[in-house]
Structures are given as structure tokens and as C-alpha cells.
Amino acid sequence: MSTYTLTVTCPSTRGIVAAISGFLAEKGCNITDSAQFDDPGTGNFFMRTSFVSEEGASLAALREAFGAVAEPFAMDWAIHDDAQKMKVIIMVSRFGHCLNDLLYRWRIGALPVEIVAVISNHLDYQKVVVNHDIPFHHIKVTGENKPQAEQRIMDVVEETGAELVVLARYMQVLSDQMCQKMAGRIINIHHSFLPSFKGANPYKQAFERGVKLIGATAHFVTADLDEGPIIEQDTVRVTHAQSGEDYVSLGRDVEAQVLARAIHAFIHHRVLMNGNKTVVFPASPGGYRSERMG
């Protein structure tokens, strides 16, 4: 039996859940997991529903028929085939901890994606990537060639059909044009617990301020640097006795975990935009299973 995920965003009103559940029952589908959120601040309703097609309804048929249900509620909606792996591009510079973590999770099936390319402005991780049989693109970025470099990046995105770009400590600022063109499709890991300690060296700032928590933030990339909607965050405790180098080492682990969790949420269609914020629904039962455990 085919399994699908339906996501819905629309103005809040009566009858939405009834309309969706009635439609799925009529089409011979059984709901296996569902989560919803009604935001009184924005007046918007959000829903994510996983279901099984028990009578053979195809994805195309479900999409075609659901339009009649969605229209009266002005729904922004999508139905996804859970068996279809999302195509992802990873971008990295010279800090490789997030890249290596993602490659491991991908290798064991904990992140069920298709990594269609790794792009870097340096050659440090070319061998690592090629050894995983993943295409590696070295695109050098300078002050003089930045527009051309970004066009090359976009060419890779379009040629591969990538649905998500992950900035795994890619240390180049993307142009406003690229951010707008890829809105909602680029996730960045910021080595700080935003919105505090922004800029080039947040760990140094945190150390100088004597903080007791350091963390990391995964967010969508927008034209406003480090201001995009936040998807995932976490922290680790530190004490007065730890050094700035300790902060960096502890921060690396948090960054890798936060980025992986954000990607996991995105590829399973658990992240819905809510203005400058996000709604992140919990994973469905079995959503964290891996193909192998080591």
C-alpha cells in the first residue's frame, strides 16, 4: 500500500478537519498520523496528515480530486509520496563537521534523501565526497566573480532538480536575488543561539560575555542575514572554567545535531511557514527509523 503525506495551510474556520478526513475516507485512505495547529495570532490553520491508500488511489488521482476540497477553504496544500526521496544539495566551506555528520546519517538511512551534489568554494572535502560517489563541484568565490559563481550554483540546482539546499557551514553570504529565488528551499546552520551573538565570531562574543549556554540555530535563508524563520535550535551548558576553544568544540556537536534535525523535519514535510516563523510538527511514528543501525 502506498503511503502519502498531506500538508495544509489556510485561514482558520470550521469544517476543515472534517472535509479532509471525509475526503480521505471516500478515496479509500486510512489516516495513520495527524497533527494540527490553529494560530490565533495570525488566524491561520496548519495541518499535516499521513495516510495509507488502501484501495489503490494514486498520487495523481488524489491530487486532482483534492482541489475541489481545498478551494472553498483557500488552502495552500500539497500531497507527497513518502517513498519519493527529496533531492538535496549540500554546500560547505572549510568546517566539515556538519558535512561529515550528514554523510553518515545519509549512509545509514537516518536521513532518507538523495544527495545530488556537494558544492564548495574550497577543495578540502573533495576526496571525502567523491569517495561517497557524490558529485563534487568546486566553485571558487571572490569579490570579483561572485555573480558568476552564484549562477554556476544555480545551474547545479536546476540541472539536478534539487528541492533543498543545505548550507553546512558554507561561509559565503548569498545574494538577495538567490535568496528570493530559493525562498523556503535553503536551510542554514548558524553557530549561535539566534537572535543573540550574530556575526562572524559568535563563540568569541559568547565567551567574552561569560554565557552559561551556547547553542546553534537552523533557519531558512532570507535576504536579511541570519534573520530567516527558525526551524530548530538547541543548547549545551558551559561553565566559567571552560575556554573559548571548549566553546567551539562543544558548539560543533550542537550544530551537527540541530542541522540534521532541521533537515529531517523539512524532508518529511513537517515544516510549514507561518509568516516570519515556522510551524514544525512532530515526526510520525517510525519517522526516525534507519535502514541500518551502524
Residues that are catalytic: 226
Total residue length of the chain: 294
Q: Which of 89, 83, 123 minimizes the C-alpha distance to 106?
A: 89
The CA distances from residue 66 to 50, 79, 80, 107, in Å, are 15, 9, 13, 36
Instruction: Give Cβ neighbours of residue 145 (< 8 Å, ≥ 6 apart).
Output: none
The amino acid at residue 2 is: S
